[in-house]
Amino acid sequence: MTKRRSSHWYGKLDKDGFIHRSWMKNQGFPDHAFDGRPIIGICNTWSELTPCNSGLRDLAEGVKRGVWEAGGFPVEFPVMSLGETQMKPTAMLFRNLLAMDVEESIRAYGIDGVVLLGGCDKTTPGQLMGAASVDLPSIVVSSGPMLNGKFKGQDIGSGTDVWKFSEAVRAGEMTLADFMGAESGMSRSKGVCMTMGTASTMASIVEAMGMALPTNAALPAVDARRMALAHLTGKRIVEMVEEDLKPSDVLTKDAFINGILANAAVGGSTNAVVHLLALAGRVGVDLTLKDFEVASDVPLLVNCMPSGKYLMEDFCYAGGIPAVLAEIKHLLRPAKTVLGGDIAAYHDGAEVFNRDVIHAFDAPVKPAAGLRVLRGNLAPDGAIVKPSAATDALLEHEGPAYVFENIEDLKANIDREDLPVTPDTILVLKGCGPKGYPGMPEVGNMPIPAKLVKDGVRDMIRVSDARMSGTAFGTVILHVAPEAQAGGPLALVKTGDRIRVSASGGTLDLLVDDAALEERRAAWQADAPYYTRGYAKMYVDHVLQANEGADLDFLVGKDTRLVTRESH
Ligand code: FES
C-alpha cells in the first residue's frame, strides 16, 4: 500500500515527525490521532465579513463529527473569505487570490483530503479552483440559502428585489421608509442569497457535477438537515481518501456539460460561465464558450427569482436539485460523483412536490432558456446573455448606442434629465472587464435612466465587458471579450453608433465600417492602471479574458507533487 500523504508529516519517528506532532498536540489531540488515519482538512471561508458564510463554523463541527466517526482526524483551517456585498472594488478581483490561498494551504499542510466550506458567490469557485490544482480528494459543503425574505406579508428575494425596490424608489412608487424597512426582512437568517443568484447557482452546479452530496445546493442554511449533510460529508471524505477519489476523477468534460445543463434548467447565473471556464483550466478540461451552447435549448424548469417568482426555500421543499436532475436525466452524461457511482444515483427516485416551483421538462417555465453566446465584430471572442432573465422582444434588436466610458461616467450621468436616450437606445459601458475595473465587477445591469424609469421603462439592452449579479435581471449583454481596456472593439464604440443584437442568431455587431474602426483604433489608448503595486497589479498584469475564465495565466493547470523539503 502506498504511504498516506500525511505520513510524510506525522508518520516519521525523527526530529521532523516530533516537531509536526508535538506542536499539534498543544491543542489536546491524543497520540492515536497520528496513528496513520486519514487527516482531513476542513477549508473554511467563515467570516463575519462574509455574512453568507457565517454559518460555516457550525457546519465545520458537523463535518468533524463525521470524520471522527469514519476513523479520520479532522483539522479545520481558515482561508481568505470573499464577502460579495462587502468588498470593494469587487469580490471577483480576489477570487483568484482565494484560489491561490486554498491551493497553497492544501499543498503545504499534511492532509490527505479536504472538505471545502464555502457559499458566497466567489468562495465556491475559488475553493474548487485551488483544490483542483492540488488534486487531493475533495468535496464541497455549501452554506445553504437564507430563509425566504419577508416584508409586509410578501416574500422578497435577495438582490432581485433590491434592484426592483431601488427602481421603484427612483420612479416615486416606493417610499424611502419602506425601502429602508425591507432591509431587515430581506436577510433574516444565516446563509447565502435565497434567490437563484450566483451562490445557489454554483451550489446547484457543484451538486449536478457530483462534487457535493445530493441535496447540498438547496437545503436552507439553518435547516438541521444541512448539519446532518455536513456530518455525512465528513464520513464520505474519509472513504474518498481510502478510494483515492480525486477532483480529476469527478471533474470530467461530461461533468462540466452536466453542470451547464443544470445551470440552464435552474435559470442560473451568468457568472457560472467564467467560473466553470476557470475551473476547467485548472483540471485540464477543454471547455470553451461554445460548450455552453449545448444548453441553449434547455428549458427553464425552476421558477425562482430572478428568472421566476419563488425562492430557494421553496425550491428545496419542491425537491431541489435531485428533482431537477430527474427532469433532465435524458440529457445528462454519465459522470462519476464524489459518491463513487454515476450521477444517476443523485436523481434516482427523486420526486417533485410542487409543480409550480419545479416544472416538468415538457411544461417549462420558459422554453429554450439556456445562456446564449453572442459573437460578432463587437465581441470577437464572445459575449453572453441570459434569455430567461431578459425581455423577449429585446433579444432581437437594433438601436443607437449611448456610451459610458467608465463607471464614474455612468454614475454621474445616468439620471440626467437631458440624457439623449429612448427605450430603443442600447446602453454601452466600457472599462469594467477583468483588467479595466479591475476585477470584472457586477455592474453590467446598469440602472435604467431615471427619465425612462418615470415613463415606466423597466428594461433596455445594456452591453458591457462587466458581469452582473446572479440575482439581477434584464436584457443585459455581458462579458464582452476582449474587454475595452485590453483594446477590444468595445473600446471603439461611440454614442450614436448603431448596434445589432440577435440572440437567436448568436450575434452582436457594431454597424460601423472597418475603415472608420481602424481610424478610431489608431487614436485609442488604454487607461493608465489605477493599481501600481501589490496583488491588484499582479492580477491586472496576468488576468485572462472572460472567455478564458478570468483566471491568472500562471495558475492554469495543476501541480500534484508532494513537497519534500522541510522548514527546520
Ligand atoms: Fe453572498 Fe449573495 S451576497 S451569496
In the structure grid, which three cell numbers stand for residue 334, read together?
A: 454519465
Q: Please indicate, yes or no, if residue 318 is contained in any of the structural domains.
A: no
Q: Which atom of ligand 1 is nearest to the CA of 471?
A: 2
Alpha carbon separation from 414 to 168, 472, 498 (Å, rounded): 16, 18, 20
Look at residue 51 and tell me whether its pLDDT is greater than 60: yes
Q: Tell me the CA–centroid distance for residue 51 and ligand 1, in Å.
A: 8
Convert the pLDDT of each residue in 53-95 to its tens digit. 999 999 999 999 999 999 999 999 999 999 999 999 999 999 9
Count other C-beta atoms under 10 Å from residue 153's C-beta: 5
Residue with the smallest CA separation from ligand 1 atom 2 is 193
Total count of domains within the chain = 1
Q: Which atom of ligand 1 is nearest to the CA of 469?
A: 2
Q: Beta 396-404 vs 426-429: how paired, if at all? A: parallel
Q: Please indicate, yes or no, if residue 472 is contained in any of the structural domains.
A: yes
Strand partners, 396: 502
Q: Tell me the CA–centroid distance for residue 543 and ligand 1, in Å.
A: 24
Q: Which atom of ligand 1 is nearest to the CA of 119?
A: 4
Q: Please indicate, yes or no, if residue 427 is contained in any of the structural domains.
A: yes
Testing ligand 1's pocket by substitution, the residue of 84, 92, 160 carrying the most ligand atoms inside 8 A of its CB is: 84
Q: Please indicate, yes or no, if residue 403 is contained in any of the structural domains.
A: yes
Residue with the smallest CA separation from ligand 1 atom 1 is 120
Per-residue pLDDT at 197: 95
Strand segments, DSSP code E, in 119-209 are 138-142, 149-151, 154-156
Q: Tell me the CA–centroid distance for residue 159 and ligand 1, in Å.
A: 9
Per-residue pLDDT at 171: 85
Report which of residues 475 and 370 the model is more confident about. Answer: 475
Q: Tell me the CA–centroid distance for residue 469 and ligand 1, in Å.
A: 9
Look at residue 488 and tell me whether its pLDDT is greater than 60: yes
Q: Please indicate, yes or no, if residue 470 is contained in any of the structural domains.
A: yes
Q: Please indicate, yes or no, if residue 404 is contained in any of the structural domains.
A: yes
Convert the pLDDT of each residue in 208-247 to its tens digit. 999 999 999 999 999 999 999 999 999 999 999 999 999 9
The per-residue DSSP string of 50-117 comes to SGGGTTHHHHHHHHHHHHHHTT-EEEEEE-----TTT-SS-GGGGHHHHHHHHHHHHHHS--SEEEEE
In terms of average pLDDT, the best of 279-283, 303-307, 564-568 is 279-283
Cα-based angle 274, 91, 408 (whole degrees, multiple of 5): 95
Q: Please indicate, yes or no, if residue 508 is contained in any of the structural domains.
A: yes
Q: Which atom of ligand 1 is nearest to the CA of 83?
A: 1
Per-residue pLDDT at 159: 87
Per-residue pLDDT at 1: 54
Residues within a 6 A CB radius of ligand 1: 52, 84-85, 120-121, 158, 192-193, 197, 199
Q: Tell me the CA–centroid distance for residue 292 and ligand 1, in Å.
A: 24
Contacts of 164 (CB under 8 A, 6+ apart): none
Looking at the whole model, is its pTM more than 0.85? yes
Which strand (E) or helix (H) includes residue 41? strand 39-44
Q: Please indicate, yes or no, if residue 418 is contained in any of the structural domains.
A: yes
Query: Which domain covers residue 391, as residue numbers?
Result: 373-530
CATH number of the domain within which 459 lies = 3.50.30.80
**Confidence at 167, pLDDT banded by 50, 70, 90:** confident
Convert the pLDDT of each residue in 100-155 to its tens digit. 999 999 999 999 999 999 999 999 999 999 999 999 999 999 999 999 999 999 99
Contacts of 29 (CB under 8 A, 6+ apart): 73
* Average pLDDT of every residue of the chain: 96
CA–CA dist 307, 390 (Å, integer): 8
CA–CA dist 107, 117 (Å, integer): 17
Q: Tell me the CA–centroid distance for residue 94 and ligand 1, in Å.
A: 15
Q: Tell me the CA–centroid distance for residue 157 and ligand 1, in Å.
A: 12
